Structure 1
Amino acid sequence: MTTESAQPARVYQLIADKIENAVLSGELKPGDRLPSERELVQQYGVSRPTVREALRVLESNHLVKSRLGDRRGPVVLPLTSHSLRKALTRLTSVNAVGLQALLQFRMIIDSAAVVLAAQYRTDSDLLEMERANARMRASVELGYEEFSQADFDFHRIVARSSKNPLLELSGEAVRGSVLGLIEQRIVDSGDSYALMQSSIRHHTEVLDAVRAGDGGHAAWLTRDGLYWYYFDYLDPADRPGLRALADEVRPL
């Protein structure tokens, strides 16, 4: 009995799950190729449309990429924050997670990343952070959308400098979710210019602390900066909890 005759309605998902598990376990690594469609049809004993649907699922989850006209199998992509970001977006859309919870998570993730970045950063990492900060300064006059991308890049570089891929992926996901939740509110508020200038000063201080290897100070700057950056967008009832989380790492 073939896999397809056993569960015709869900067989494509079973195939996608098997391939996804091979990627997550390291059996398949970024840059590796899956078998061709014809080989997958023979391997799983299913029809070509079923294989194509499984590949569509894998592509939508940013696990593999097929190239038009390439007869070789799809290539395995590096892991990204897409799946986690998608899950966070779903939770916020049904009000299961709000801005307070996202910021609490971000405070913890980002402050851990800067502590490790202060320990493990290289001269090349520092140069990339400096360039991202320079792009932030240059993009102020271009508008909040351009600025926020440079800001996102700065945090991504810091997280990558922590040498912990889980912090990097989680940080990207939660930062994207926070921005998606309130970006338009920031733009509509008319205060975006002041926020951008404040953010540049804050990032410069964080960069100086990371360069000096002072992870504790960098963690405090990160949590305190997040609290004040989003202060006006928080429900007053949510502020004490965020303040307490920031003060947890306040230097003595």
Structure 2
Amino acid sequence: MQFEPVAPVRAYERIVEQIEEAVVSGLLKPGDRLPGERELMTQFGVGRSTVREALRVLQAAELVRSRPGDPRGPEVLAASPVALQRSMHRLARAEHVGLGELVQFRMVLDGSAHLLAAHLRTAADLSALDEALAAMSTAAGYAEFSRADVSFHETVARASRNQLLVVSGEVVRGVVLELIEDKLSHARDQSTLMRTWLRHHEQVRDAIRAGDGESAARLARQALYDNYAEYVPQEQRAMLTPLLTS
């Protein structure tokens, strides 16, 4: 058995770990303030440069926000999908992650969200879906139509009552949004395409209203396949087809 050499842990990394743990455990909540720089130096027993490096890492991870000259100390931030969004964009550009995997992941997420929404939706959720559909049907152009479309999908995600599905779905939609815009911008008849999407959303709304989760999930996965499969390399499309029958 041959072990690999280990890298020494730097002091600022230990500071980051402790503050992250305090946030995750709830000891530090959004809006709370960390002690000032001098107090952090005293509590952790380190120098100013070490504290500043730890704060730089925490700010880059969007766990805290520090304003120069603010005497109140760095502010703990609420969880945000921004960092996950950036990571997903990097994955989308990486050679080892193909577009087929991204589309497949969205089919899994959206299918699950639609299934749960059909069983857990409230009257307010159904009203919000109706409002989004009304906005889509009267949209003056693609930009307005797209905003209503996003609102529809966000409502479905919230109706799943699962915050992880909400955040993950938002991130993946953002990664592939360019594909929607590209498809519409190159469509010969944008009005026809938007009417097709509107009918699909109406079918989804009806399935969710009827509590038919399997139909809602199937419609969601099929629509994603129909919209994105043409962008996926031929050799990766086999990754998507099993989700059309599940």
Pairwise TM-score range, normalised by the shorter structure: 0.7 to 0.9
Normalising by structure 1, report the TM-score: 0.78
Amino acid at match of 2:162: N
Q: Which moved more, 1:84-93 or 1:26-35?
A: 26-35
CA shift, 1:56, in A, is: 3.2
CA RMSD, 1 decimal: 2.9
> CA 1:221–1:59 in 2, change beyond 3 Å: closer, same or farther?
same
Gaps of 5+ in 1: 1-6
Q: Which residue of 1 aligns with 2:26?
A: 26
CA shift, 1:220, in A, is: 0.8
Work out whether residues 107 and 246 of structure 1, in 8 Å CA contact, stay in contact via their aligned partners in 2.
no
CA shift, 1:191, in A, is: 5.2
2:163 to 162, 165, 171: 165
Amino acid at match of 2:27: E
- Give secondary structure in 2 for the equivalent of 1:245: helix
Q: Which moved more, 1:164-173 or 1:233-242?
A: 233-242
Q: Which residue of 2 aligns with 1:237?
A: 235
Amino acid at match of 1:228: D
Q: Which residue of 1 aligns with 2:119?
A: 119
> CA 1:12–1:151 in 2, change beyond 3 Å: closer, same or farther?
farther
1:155 aligns with 2:153: yes
Gaps of 5+ in 2: 1-7
> CA 1:11–1:108 in 2, change beyond 3 Å: closer, same or farther?
same
Q: Which residue of 2 aligns with 1:186?
A: 183
Q: Which moved more, 1:187-196 or 1:23-32?
A: 187-196
Normalising by structure 2, report the TM-score: 0.80
- Give secondary structure in 2 for the equivalent of 1:178: helix
1:212 to 200, 210, 213: 210
Which portions of structure 1, spanning 4 or more consecutive aligned residues, are displaced by more than 6 angstroms?
none
Q: Which residue of 1 aligns with 2:172?
A: 174
Distance 1:229 1:138 in 2: 22
Name which one, 1 or 2, has greater alpha-carbon Rg: 2
- Give secondary structure in 2 for the equivalent of 1:40: helix
Q: Which residue of 2 aligns with 1:4?
A: none
* Percent pairwise identity: 48
Count of paired positions: 238
Distance 1:175 1:50 in 2: 38
Amino acid at match of 2:212: D
> CA 1:183–1:202 in 2, change beyond 3 Å: closer, same or farther?
closer
Distance 1:189 1:104 in 2: 24
- Give secondary structure in 2 for the equivalent of 1:30: coil
Q: Which residue of 1 aligns with 2:14?
A: 14
Amino acid at match of 1:155: H
Q: Which residue of 2 aligns with 1:3?
A: none
